[in-house]
Structure formats: structure tokens, C-alpha cells
């Protein structure tokens, strides 16, 4: 019997093999036949991605959204390059660019969202909302005849509805204190200026203070106007505050630094693979070449801010006060796509006059760790102790007068000032983190707007608010939000709480020009800067 088993198995195997072979041959024929219809043109080298996308689009079993897939591929590639090369979708490009451009098109209001309703905090002077009759304190409840309140309302949705092309109209429905009916306004959008000099005021009879939020298209123009205004008020020395300034256009920083340097002084240079070295030097025509200056920075000062502080430091032109800066030494160029989107591609590294590249280290494809660098600095205690700072580059560089400085992770200040924690308590942290100080200030302003509008300067406003029982009212407000008062903690934080509340109330009436003089009172960095300038320690 066994002798029949092997032949039988062999025959069966042959039959199965023939069947499988025919099936595979047929499958291969189908593949070959299908492939012959996909006549992809021959591509070479770096066109492999183009070939890949063509095959996927043409041959994939399901219909694909190739626009989205293309965007995903671009984003993935850029993330592999460095932390600052990025893709900007078409829907976001206008908003992203408006942060640095001199204006955007809108209705000209500042707003916040409280209790699911858009509140007008301030109406921009000379803007279309002011002309139409909108007032600070108004609640926007309708946009283009549609109800616009509720939990789904957020800042992005508000800006999307209120901003738009110049010359277009938006219809608003507004609730106002003292008026029962809904008021309606047809507002024509126009160009709204983007202010980048937050404040410029005399901080002592001879020291002017200028705070700059970013380096946009009109920063130099605003900066030079602020310098001239303060000089007319008696300023012979200046404090330039670049804290939390994340940068912007390099040429604006170069123009600003030029005001303080002698002819031929190097400001910055940049170079890359396809970006031949370019030196920016002072032309000697600056109007403040001999004026003592101090520059403030912190861990959020980046890019163009570091170009500014690096040039001042390396040329021994002034004193840098604060904490180690962010450490961004990469230069981006924006390239537009035909669909209205764009990418910002790193094309060069910039170097301070002493030759420092202050870009902090990064691993390609690991942007998360790079972005968490600020957290790592905090955990090491760097914000509170100079000894905790860990610089990667230990190579010494030399300033114009021979002082040693270092690169590889930000600009180190000449005077280190730790974060002020003297007022920190659980009570203070809770009411600030949950924005109860901000909410109380707006509610108080709204309730007393007629009285507060009588005060035209931050000094008179501050004097008036000092006579009110703000702290008692705020404690009751916070209690209504579920934050129970703790007497010992409130006593420790009292001064900081009142300063913050007063600053917010003043901003609601007088804008940032009123906010910062109060908000920055008793600021340790400013106190050190004043002492430095008054004692001629800037060289």
C-alpha cells in the first residue's frame, strides 16, 4: 500500500504546483498588464519623491486627498531638517505674516472672551470700529446676523470672522451697558497697524525706557521715533527691553543696532551652503553712538533679539542684563507655493561680531526635545542660579575690548538676574494661572468705566486706584470663583497682586503705554539697569 502513497503525493504536488504556477503567472500578467498602463515618465535623482507621489496617486487602491498627502510629506521632510524650518498652510499664512508685517486688515478692536461672550477691551484709535461707534465694554453677540456666543467661541474663530480683505464689510450685533436692545453696526474692514513698540516712557528724569515685542516690518521706524520722543523729554540714557521678544526680521535689528555703533563696526554676519557670507556693518550715521544703553533679555529672547544683544555685547557698546537667551542662530527664508501656502526654510546660520554662533544644539528629527529645552533649563534651576547654566560651547571668543564671551546656546548676560519669586504663594499662583486677576480687572473697569475715563495718564490713574479698596474686592471676586482666601499668603503676595490688577485696569483704559509703567514697577532687572546707568557702569 505504501508504494502507492509517494506517487500519489507526487502527482498531487505536481497538480497543486501547476495550479499555483498558473495563478501566479496570471497574477504577474495582470500586474504587468496594469503596470504597462501607468506610463510614468522617467525621473532621476532628487525627482524620486515626484515619482513616488505619482505612483501613489495613480496606483493606490483608494482615492486619496493628494493635497493633504503632499502637505504631510512636506511637513515630515522639514521636521527632519531643523527645528525652525516649517510649513505654513494657506489658511494660516495671512495671520502668521501679519504678526511681523506692519498691518493686517480688520475692524480695529482688542477683545477677550469671558463667559462665552466676546468683550471689546479697547477700540483702536482711528480704526473703522471707532468711526462706526463701537466702544470699549461692548459685547459682540452677533456676526453677520448669526448668533456668535457660546462655549465653541475661541480666539481663532473670532479673528477669522472679524478679519478679512480690506474693503469688505462685517455686520455686528452688540450689547451695551445701559441699553436694552441689540445695537447693529456695519463696519468696513481696513488696514490696522500692528504695534511692536509696546511702551516708551521716562523711567527716571534722565533714563528712557523702550520695550519691543518683536522685529516686524516697521520696528525700526517705531524704535527711532521712540528714541527721539524720549530724547525730547530729557533722556540721555536708555534701557531697551527685549524680554519675551522672539525675533523677526534680521534687517530691522541691523538698522536699530546701527544707531549705536561706530562706522565699520561689525553687527552680524550670516552664511550657509547656498548663502555666501554676508557682513552687516555700521555706517557711522547713527544718532546715538555715544548714548549709554542697557539691554534686557530673558530665556524667551530669540533670533533677531540675540542679534541685537550679541552686537551690543561683542562691540562692548552696552551692558546686557537678565538671563541666558533662547539660542536661535538659524536664518529662515520664506518660499511661497502656488496654492497660497508657504514654507520657511533655514538657509544660513548667523554669527555675532566675535564669531559666535549662538544656536543651541538640536538633533535632526527630534524637535520635541529641542522645544523642551526651556523646561530642562527650569528643572536644572538655571532661571534662579547662574551656576546652574550649562553652555555647550566652551571655546572662548573675544569682544572688541578683549572680554571673553561664549556661544553655543544663547547670549549670556553681563549681569545675571534670577526670576523674582518673592511674591509667589499658592494663592497668588492660582489666581494668576486661572486669569482671575485679569477677569477681575476687566469686570472692575466695566463697572467704573465712566470714572476711569477721566484719567489720561498712568500716574493719575495709579493714584486714583491706590485710593480704592481693590484688594478687598478682588479677594471677594476670587472667593466667588472658588479660591478661598489665605491671610498669610495674601499678605506675602499683596504688593504683586495690586500691581498686576492696577496694571490690567489701566491697560483697559490707556492701552500698553499705561500698562507697562505700572506692571514693571519694582522689576529687579530694571532696578539693576537703572543702577548700572546711574553709576556709569556701561563700559
Rounded Cα distance between 14 and 293, Å, is 93
Any idea what the Cα angle at residue 107 is, between residues 106 and 113, rounded to 5°?
Answer: 100
Rounded Cα distance between 156 and 52, Å, is 36
Q: What is the DSSP string of 416-427?
A: E-----TT--HH
Question: Quick one: cell of 281?
Answer: 556693518
CA torsion, points 249, 254, 256, 262, in degrees to nearest 10? 180
Q: Is 167 left (phi over 0), alpha (psi -120 to 50) or beta?
A: left
Catalytic option among 85, 98, 301, 303 = 303
Element housing 400 (H / E) = none
With H, G, I as helix, E, B as strand and everything else as coil, classify residue 288: coil
Residue 520: CB atoms within 10 A of its CB come to 19
Question: Quick one: cell of 263?
Answer: 562706522
Q: Is 366 a catalytic residue?
A: no
Nearest to 357 by CA among 314, 417, 321: 314
Rounded Cα distance between 466 and 200, Å, is 23
Question: Quick one: cell of 125?
Answer: 484709535
Rounded Cα distance between 397 and 66, Å, is 50
Instruction: State the chain's maximal CA–CA distance in angstroms.
Output: 119
Any idea what the Cα angle at residue 480 is, between residues 479 and 486, rounded to 5°?
Answer: 5
Burial class from Cβ neighbours inside 10 Å (0-12, 13-18, 19+) for residue 241 reads: buried
Residue located via cell numbers 513698540: 197
**How far from chain centre, in Å, is Cα 231?**
30
Nearest to 466 by CA among 498, 440, 444: 498
Q: Is 328 a catalytic residue?
A: yes
Catalytic option among 314, 373, 512, 528 = 314
Strand partners for 193: 103
Rounded Cα distance between 335 and 461, Å, is 48
The CA distances from residue 106 to 94, 125, 161, 190, 273, in Å, are 12, 13, 9, 6, 40
Rounded Cα distance between 17 and 332, Å, is 61
Catalytic option among 214, 218, 237, 328 = 328
Question: Quick one: cell of 74?
Answer: 512636506
Nearest to 415 by CA among 327, 519, 524, 523: 524
Rounded Cα distance between 187 and 169, Å, is 5
Residue 1: CB atoms within 10 A of its CB come to 4
**Integer distance in angstroms from the first to the last C-alpha of the chain?**
109
Q: Is 364 a catalytic residue?
A: no
Strand partners for 345: 333
Catalytic sites, residue numbers: 303, 314, 328
Amino acid at each position: 500500500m505504501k508504494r502507492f502513497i509517494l506517487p500519489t503525493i507526487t502527482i498531487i504536488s505536481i497538480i497543486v504546483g501547476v495550479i499555483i504556477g498558473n495563478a501566479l503567472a496570471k497574477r504577474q500578467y495582470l500586474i504587468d498588464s496594469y503596470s504597462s498602463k501607468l506610463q510614468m515618465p522617467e525621473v532621476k535623482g532628487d525627482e524620486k519623491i515626484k515619482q513616488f507621489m505619482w505612483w501613489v496617486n495613480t496606483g493606490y487602491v483608494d482615492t486619496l486627498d493628494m493635497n493633504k498627502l503632499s502637505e504631510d510629506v512636506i511637513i515630515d521632510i522639514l521636521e527632519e531638517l531643523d527645528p525652525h524650518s516649517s510649513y505654513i498652510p494657506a489658511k494660516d499664512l495671512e495671520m502668521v505674516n501679519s504678526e511681523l508685517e506692519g498691518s493686517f486688515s480688520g475692524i480695529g478692536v482688542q477683545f477677550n472672551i469671558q463667559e462665552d461672550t466676546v468683550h471689546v477691551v479697547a477700540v483702536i484709535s482711528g480704526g473703522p470700529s471707532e468711526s462706526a461707534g463701537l466702544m470699549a465694554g461692548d459685547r459682540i453677540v452677533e456676526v453677520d446676523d448669526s448668533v456668535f456666543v457660546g462655549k465653541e467661541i475661541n480666539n481663532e474663530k473670532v479673528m477669522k470672522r472679524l478679519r478679512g480683505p480690506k474693503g469688505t464689510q462685517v455686520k455686528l450685533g452688540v450689547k451695551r451697558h445701559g441699553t436694552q436692545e441689540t445695537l447693529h453696526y456695519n463696519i468696513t474692514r481696513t488696514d490696522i497697524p500692528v504695534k511692536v513698540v509696546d511702551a516708551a516712557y521716562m523711567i527716571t528724569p534722565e533714563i528712557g525706557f523702550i520695550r519691543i515685542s518683536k522685529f516686524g516690518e516697521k520696528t525700526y521706524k517705531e524704535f527711532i521715533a521712540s528714541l527721539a520722543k524720549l530724547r525730547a523729554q530729557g533722556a540721555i540714557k536708555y534701557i531697551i527691553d527685549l524680554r519675551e521678544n522672539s525675533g523677526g526680521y534680521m534687517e530691522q535689528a541691523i538698522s536699530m543696532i546701527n544707531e549705536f555703533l561706530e562706522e565699520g563696526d561689525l553687527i552680524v554676519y550670516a552664511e550657509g551652503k547656498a548663502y555666501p557670507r554676508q557682513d552687516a556693518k555700521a555706517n557711522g550715521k547713527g544718532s546715538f553712538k555715544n548714548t549709554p544703553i542697557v539691554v534686557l533679555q530673558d530665556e524667551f529672547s530669540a533670533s533677531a533679539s540675540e542679534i541685537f544683544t550679541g552686537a551690543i555685547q561683542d562691540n562692548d557698546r552696552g551692558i546686557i542684563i537678565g538671563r541666558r537667551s533662547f539660542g536661535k542662530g538659524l536664518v529662515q527664508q520664506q518660499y511661497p507655493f502656488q496654492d497660497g501656502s508657504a514654507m520657511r526654510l533655514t538657509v544660513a546660520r548667523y554669527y555675532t561680531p566675535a564669531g559666535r554662533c549662538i544656536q543651541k544644539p538640536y538633533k535632526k528629527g527630534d524637535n520635541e526635545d529641542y522645544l523642551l529645552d526651556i523646561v530642562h533649563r527650569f528643572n536644572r534651576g538655571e532661571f534662579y542660579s547662574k551656576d546652574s547654566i550649562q553652555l555647550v560651547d566652551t571655546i572662548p571668543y573675544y569682544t572688541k575690548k578683549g572680554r571673553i564671551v561664549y556661544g553655543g546656546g544663547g547670549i549670556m548676560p553681563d549681569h545675571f538676574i534670577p526670576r523674582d519669586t518673592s511674591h509667589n504663594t499658592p494663592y497668588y499662583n492660582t489666581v494668576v494661572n486661572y486669569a482671575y486677576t485679569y477677569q477681575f480687572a476687566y469686570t472692575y473697569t466695566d463697572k467704573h468705566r465712566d470714572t476711569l475715563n477721566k484719567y489720561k495718564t498712568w500716574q493719575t490713574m495709579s493714584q486714583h486706584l491706590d485710593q480704592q479698596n481693590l484688594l478687598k474686592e478682588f479677594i471677594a471676586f476670587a472667593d466667588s470663583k472658588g479660591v478661598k482666601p489665605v491671610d498669610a499668603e495674601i499678605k506675602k503676595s499683596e504688593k504683586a497682586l495690586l500691581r498686576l490688577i492696577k496694571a490690567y485696569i489701566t491697560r483697559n483704559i490707556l492701552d500698553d503705554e499705561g500698562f507697562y509703567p505700572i506692571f514693571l514697577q519694582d522689576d529687579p532687572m530694571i532696578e539693576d539697569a537703572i543702577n548700572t546707568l546711574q553709576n556709569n557702569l556701561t563700559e
